[in-house]
Amino acid sequence: MTDSRPILFFDSGVGGLSVLAPTARLLPQAPLVYVADSAGFPYGTRSEAEIAARVPALLGRLAERYDPRLIVIACNTASTIALQHVRAALDVPIVGTVPAIKPAAERSRTRVIGVLGTDATVRQPYVDDLAARFAADCTVIRHGSAELVELAEAALGGERPSIATVRDALAGLLSQDRAGEIDVIVNACTHFPLIQDALESAIGGKVSFIDGGAGIARRVAYLTAGQQWPEPISGRAVFTARSARTDKLAPALARFGLVEVETL
């Protein structure tokens, strides 16, 4: 008996592809559906109430339509605000994406860590809690950037960001007290690993970046261990609204194995 139910990845935009990629490498036979809530993008400048209402309702519709075996909320903003609501509402295993503060604290020698996310993510009590539990002896410097999210979307559409633009977007992090001592930056937004080369060039020096992609892939593999997979089928990308911007993404989506593209 094969089981054709997909693993469904969800984000506001293309950022969740940085989570899908390591999972696809680990589980090459898994059927994948990638959903970008392009009608709700960006999430990082929205209120908690908007995210908490929108994400569980949309995932409910998506679960009905695609019958996933597991859902990965490949978005830190949606996970830090709505993970509990989604888990309460749906009878499907849900894996969230939350800032990788624990491994960052394990790696940091200077004990000064940067957390780079969206405005909504960096102000969440969820992040206070992670910092208190896993990085209590570190200085945790946070910065939210909507501009980096836009730059990552554009990069997937083929427009590489200039290093000067990325440096400007990082000014709010690097101008904070003790920022010169940061040796590890948490990519606390799934869009940012997509432009990590540019981030590294803009920061220079000996700062390393960390994100949750590989850990999530291992978690998905663990939760689906022993399950049956269908014959290989191409992945599917789903947008909640179609536009010139989403149309430009088709070649990049195909590079991630997402050949079918549809609108919800």
Active-site residue list: 75, 189
DSSP 115: E
**Helix (H) / strand (E) containing 73:** strand 70-73
- Closest by CA position to 100, among listed 71, 74, 131: 131
Residue (5 or 55) nearer to ligand DGL, CB? 55
Q: Per CB under 6 A, does 96 bind ligand DGL?
A: no
Choice between 33 and 120, CB closer to ligand DGL: 120
The residue among 175, 188, 176 whose CA lies nearest residue 126 is 188
Site string for ligand DGL, 15-34 (x = CB under 6 A): x-------------------
174/178 Cα distance (integer angstroms)? 9
Ligand-binding annotation for 208, yes or no, is: no
Binding track, positions 142-181, relative to ligand DGL; x by CB under 6 A: -------x--------------------------------
**DSSP state letter for 46:** S
Binders of ligand DGL among 206-235, rule CB under 6 A?
none
d(C-alpha 153, C-alpha 220), whole Å = 25
For 147, the token pair is 């501009």
Residue with tokens 């570190």: 138
Please state the closest distance from residue 34 (CB atom) to ligand DGL, in A: 13
- Report the C-alpha gap between 174 and 167 in whole angstroms: 9
For CA atoms 153, 17, 124, 140, the dihedral sign is negative
The residue type at 11: D
41 binds ligand DGL, rule: CB under 6 A: yes
Shortest distance, position 24 Cβ to ligand DGL, whole Å = 18
Which 235-254 residues touch ligand DGL, going by CB under 6 A? none
Q: Which of 23, 121, 145, 224 binds ligand DGL (CB under 6 A)?
A: 121
Q: Determine if residue 97 is labeled as part of a ligand binding site.
A: no
φ/ψ of 186, rounded to 5, equals -85, 120
Decide whether 139 or 190 has the Cβ nearer to ligand DGL: 190
Q: Is 43 in the site for ligand DGL (CB under 6 A)?
A: yes
Q: Which residues pair with 72 in a beta bridge?
A: 9, 95
Check residue 6 for interaction with ligand DGL (CB under 6 A): no
Binding to ligand DGL by CB under 6 A, coded x per residue (else -) over 51-90, reads ------------------------xxx-------------
Cβ distance to ligand DGL smaller for residue 5 or 189: 189
Is 12 known to sit in a ligand binding site? yes
Q: Which amino acid is at 98?
A: V
The residue type found at 31 is P
Residue 143 assigned to a binding site:
no
Q: With respect to ligand DGL, which residue has the nearer C-beta, 214 or 233? A: 214
Instruction: Report d(CA 80, CA 98) in Å as an integer.
Output: 6
Point out which residues bind ligand DGL (CB under 6 A).
Answer: 11-13, 15, 41-44, 75-77, 117-118, 121, 149, 189-191
